[in-house]
Amino acid sequence: MLEAMLGPEKKNQLFGNGVLLAAVILAFVGMCLAVVASIHPIVHSIFWPAIAMLFIASGALIAHGKGVRLTLSMIVFLLGLWVVLNVVLGINVPEVPEMDMGGLLTGGVAMTEMMTDTMLQLMTAGGVVGAAGGLVGIFGALKYSGTGTQVADSGADTEIADVGADTQVAE
Amino acid sequence: MLESMIGPETTKKMLATGISLAVAILSFVAMALIVIASVNPLWHPVFWPGIVILIFGCASLGVRKKISRLGLALIVLAAGVWTFLNVVLQINVPEAVEFGDLLSGDAGMPEMIAPILLMLPGLGGIIAIFGGLAGIYGALKY
């Protein structure tokens, strides 16, 4: 229906922007989950990929070319995957301090360090949501981003239509 | 599509208002996160920038001039960066309280959990930075 109303070019543009907006929203949620768990004490290997995820997804929304959108979405997906794998495989995650109440009483183990293990699940959830955002972006870029060929085709159509109109006027 | 229906001028105005609305919403979320973690005990270096982020983010909805919107977005960005750096670099953060102080009554529960809540102002700062950047993009493009 939309295609008949707007034409294939406009419909693709509209859907492409919609899908990439969804990807940005997913990246935003993923960033929130990962960052809230890794900012204090800062876990660099999780924190910075989460921030990059959001900004690169936003860049994909602003970009126009199919290749650029696809590349940026793939980077978002890889960053999400990096966060998930870090936690799942136990690489680059903060060391769990020896936890006993004595440590807390004497100030040896601060409350935030004590909660590190609990926070890992949020980081994982953030990574999964970010990776999902990346996949959505890849889908949007592949299916709805326009190509140069389509633009050239529509230009040719317009020229033919113009010639037809001229002929009618002459008649 | 929109441009052919309502003209380029109205389209620009509409998109600019849309982005300003997004900035206002992001500022609100940032303020909520920052204020909830810094209001009791009051933590001045982060609490007031949180309020400033909200006021300036919402003000960008009301102004028309490009330069004004750009200025407001820059202030939101600066306040967000300030909050974020305070948390990440551990400048002006509340001191950690030992569990023993809580037991002996030297510290209350809000003081005890203040360092745990630091994650919320940090996230609020990042959201404000994102809002500020969106505002700058909107002001420059539309």
A45 in a structural domain:
yes
Torsion of CA B67, B72, B75, B81, to 10 degrees: -110
Q: Considering only CB atoms, which chain B residues are within 8 Å of A112? A: 115-116, 118
**Minimal Cβ distance to A112: which of B1, B88, B116:** B116
Q: What is the pLDDT of residue B1?
A: 63
Q: What is the pLDDT of residue A156?
A: 43
A40 touches chain B (CB under 8 A): yes
A145 in a structural domain:
yes
Q: What is the pLDDT of residue B13?
A: 87
Residues in chain A: 171
Cis before B115 (ω within 30): no
Our CA-based measurement puts residue A171 at a distance from the nearest CA of chain B, in whole angstroms, of 31
Helices and strands per DSSP (H, E), number in chain A:
8, 0
A169 in a structural domain:
no
**Minimal Cβ distance to B1: which of A6, A36, A112:** A6
A170 in a structural domain:
no
Q: A-contacting residues of B 56-75, CB under 8 Å?
A: none
Q: What is the pLDDT of residue B47?
A: 94
Digit-by-digit pLDDT tens for chain B (142 residues) are 667 777 888 888 888 899 999 999 999 999 999 999 988 888 899 999 999 999 999 998 889 888 999 999 999 999 999 999 999 888 887 776 766 777 777 777 777 777 788 889 999 999 999 999 999 999 998 8
Condensed to tens digits (0 to 9), the pLDDT of residues B60-95 reads 888 988 899 999 999 999 999 999 999 988 888 777
How many domains are there within chain A? 1
Q: Considering only CB atoms, which chain B residues are within 8 Å of A110? A: 96, 115
**Minimal Cβ distance to B100: which of A31, A37, A105:** A105
Q: Considering only CB atoms, which chain B residues are within 8 Å of A107? A: 96, 98-100
Q: What is the pLDDT of residue A28?
A: 95
Is the separation of the CB atoms in A31 and B126 below 8 Å? yes
Residue-range definition of the domain harbouring residue A45: 7-164
B23 touches chain A (CB under 8 A): no
**Minimal Cβ distance to A42: which of B88, B103, B134:** B88
A88 in a structural domain:
yes
Q: What is the pLDDT of residue A104?
A: 65
Which of B34, B126, B136, B141 is most worth mutating to test chain A (most A CB atoms within 10 A of its CB)? B126
Our CA-based measurement puts residue A147 at a distance from the nearest CA of chain B, in whole angstroms, of 18
Given phi > 0 = left and psi -120 to 50 = alpha, else beta, which region is B7? left
**Which structure tokens are listed for A69?**
């959108």
Q: What is the pLDDT of residue B80?
A: 96
B2 touches chain A (CB under 8 A): no
**Minimal Cβ distance to A40: which of B119, B127, B134:** B119
Is the separation of the CB atoms in A124 and A85 below 8 Å? no
A171 in a structural domain:
no
DSSP 8-state code for residue B118: G
**Closest by CA position to B2, among listed A9, A64, A10, A65:** A10
A150 in a structural domain:
yes
Is the separation of the CB atoms in B35 and B50 below 8 Å? yes
Our CA-based measurement puts residue B87 at a distance from the nearest CA of chain A, in whole angstroms, of 8
**Which structure tokens are listed for A131?**
């990776």
Q: Considering only CB atoms, which chain A residues are within 8 Å of B123? A: 32, 35-36, 39
Q: Where are the domains of chain B?
A: 2-141
Q: What is the CA radius of gyration of chain A?
A: 24
**Minimal Cβ distance to B88: which of A36, A39, A62:** A39
Q: Considering only CB atoms, which chain B residues are within 8 Å of A57? A: none
Is the separation of the CB atoms in A72 and A59 below 8 Å? yes
Is the separation of the CB atoms in B100 and A106 below 8 Å? yes
Taking an 8 Å cut-off on Cβ atoms, the answer to whether A36 and B87 are in contact is no
Q: Which residue has the tokens 């982020």?
A: B53
Q: Which residue has the tokens 């295609």?
A: A3
A39 in a structural domain:
yes
User: What is the value of ipTM here, to two decimals?
Assistant: 0.84
Digit-by-digit pLDDT tens for chain A (171 residues) are 667 777 877 888 888 889 999 999 999 999 999 999 888 888 899 999 999 999 999 999 999 888 999 999 999 999 999 999 999 998 888 776 666 666 666 665 667 777 777 888 999 999 999 999 999 999 999 998 765 434 434 444 444 444 444 444 443
Distant-in-sequence, close-in-space partners of B98: CB < 8 Å, separation ≥ 6 = A104, A105, A106, A107, B107
